[in-house]
Copies of this chain bind each other. A is one copy, B any other.
Amino acid sequence: MRNLTLLTDLYQLTMGQGYFREGKHEQIAAFDVFFRPNKLITYSVAAGMEQVSEYLENLHFEEEDIEYLRSLGIFQEDFLNYLKNLRFTGDVVSVREGELVFPYEPILTVKAPMIEAQLVETAILTLVNHQTLIASKAAKICAAAGGGVMEFGLRRAQGPDAGIYGARAAIIGGCVGTSNVYAGKLFSVPVSGTMAHSWVMNFPSELEAFRAYARSFPEGCLLLVDTYDTLKSGVPNAITVFRELRAAGHEPKGIRLDSGDLAYLSKEARKMLDDAGFEKAIICASGDLDEYSVRSLKSQGAKIDTWGIGTKLITSADLPALGGVYKLAAVFEDGVEIPKIKLSNTTEKITNPGMKDVYRIYDARGMAVADLITREGEKIDPLKPLTIFHPLDVWKRKTIKNFSVRNLREPLVVQGKSVLKKRSLFEIHESFAAESAHFWEEYKRQDMPHIYKVDLSDALHALKREMVNLYGKGE
């Protein structure tokens, strides 16, 4: 993998030298990654943690990186020498990829010497923000489609990595394949695609173009039928070739529609294919689709079996940044935690101080009731009634009995070494799908969803209140 050690904001290094000068660089500090509510997101699907673990394990400056930093003329030699031997030695706990996560939850916490913890902020945010964003968008699109979604967006991605890791995240969110060959190889996921309009234009007729394609790919033949006239030319020509294939002992796969009125065309094409005896031939649709157009097409009774989703998925077009942040939660003196809080005049922007755990509470039917952020090491006893309350509107309370509880986070990196149990992307997706089944649809729907509760434990709430009062900014 590429060495991304320099993939950081300059201020991480200027602060690094400052801490080094002040003798504070090896003080242990803890930072939380979390994001704030956004009206377009009902839940997010965590992703990018595997890349975070690889990045941290590989962290080191090359000699030429040190040379470059020296050339900036702002760093001193003793600090540059220190950087030469810098490795990531800290611990990271994180939710697993594919976990459903909600605003304010510390989905990942870095605990490391201050200089390391600051240096890695930027790249961790880049990796987690991007993949979580695309996995979440994919989940919304796949929920609308009910399955059969392929990621087709590479050419519109914001650079190669956006295409490659966007495809990865899309699979975690529920896509069944990608057109991106690089991603297919890197992550062992199915790749799909057959022909473009240029193929059809490069033969004297559409029929000849289809026949030529069928000669090369008699198995799984899928033909693009909208180059000239979908219903008058494309589908009839496809049926002609499908009959020839069947006569030769091959069963065709189906057709793709890439333009026009997909609801009408798919219904008409379905009839034509069925009437010709190709009931199993699928219809794939593509062309600037997203969860809104997919839902609209399905509500119109479109006969579409699989979906190729490009631009709007790979860029998360209506929300192109997740906005996850990385905030100081605590520092340690002689091993003793000193919680830290970031105050703000905006109540929602006040951070949750100290080391924390995140639990999910399930009712007796196994359905998720709320998430609970606690101080680190708090035990929740499922045999005692649990009162949860809204972290801002504290009069909103609810007591639950007969529940079960799960700690959402586990170690990702221990003393600089990755302890990630690697899973295939489909295993990660399966874990997401399994967990998703524990959430009522009301929490997941796009229109007017119920807001899933993320509450604070009594102990965490008390600490936060105490610190806000101490620093005198509770308004």
Binding site for B on A (CB under 8 A): 2, 4, 6-15, 17-19, 21-22, 24, 29, 31, 65, 68-69, 72, 74, 114, 118, 121-123, 125-127, 129-131, 133-134, 152, 154-166, 179-182, 184-185, 191-199, 201-202, 212-213, 215-217, 219-220, 228, 259, 311, 315-317, 320-323, 326-328, 331, 340, 342-344
Contact = CB atoms under 8 A, between A and B. Distances in A.
- From A154, A196, A328, residue with most partner B Cβ within 10 Å: A196
Given A10-B181, A159-B161, 14 more contacts: A11-B193, A17-B217, A21-B212, A21-B215, A29-B202, A74-B219, A74-B220, A129-B156, A130-B157, A156-B323, A158-B315, A159-B162, A198-B327, A315-B321
23 contacts: A7-B160, A8-B182, A9-B152, A9-B155, A10-B181, A10-B184, A10-B193, A11-B193, A11-B195, A17-B217, A18-B215, A18-B216, A22-B212, A29-B202, A31-B198, A125-B155, A126-B156, A158-B321, A160-B161, A162-B162, A198-B327, A201-B328, A259-B344
Contacts of A327: 198
Contacts of A198: 15, 31, 118, 327-328
Nearest to A117: B198
Contacts of A317: 320-321
A321 B156 contact: yes
Given A198-B118, A320-B317, A126 B157 contact: yes
A201 B340 CA distance: 8
B199 A4 contact: no
A86 to B, nearest CB: 14
A65 B185 contact: yes
Given A126-B154, A320-B320, A321-B317, A193 B18 contact: no
A2 B68 CA distance: 21
B316 A160 contact: no
> 4 tightest CB-CB pairs across the interface, nearest first?
A11-B193, A159-B161, A10-B193, A161-B161
Contacts of A131: 159
- From A11, A127, A134, residue with most partner B Cβ within 10 Å: A11
Contact of A126 (B4, B29, B125, B160): B160
A155 B74 CA distance: 23
B340 A9 contact: no
A191 B74 CA distance: 11
Nearest to A11: B193
A9 B156 contact: no
A163 B131 CA distance: 14
A155 B126 CA distance: 4
Contact of A10 (B123, B179, B343): B179
A9 B154 contact: yes
A24 B216 CA distance: 13
A7 B181 contact: yes
Given A9-B179, A166-B158, A180-B9, A114 B18 contact: no
Contacts of A156: 125-126, 129, 321-323
Given A18-B213, A328-B202, A191 B154 contact: no
Contact of A162 (B13, B18, B130, B213): B130
A427 to B, nearest CB: 20
B179 A11 contact: yes
A76 B322 CA distance: 43
A124 to B, nearest CB: 9
- From A127, A182, A320, A342, residue with most partner B Cβ within 10 Å: A320
B201 A14 contact: no
A243 B350 CA distance: 33
A324 to B, nearest CB: 8
Contact of A4 (B118, B182, B201): B182
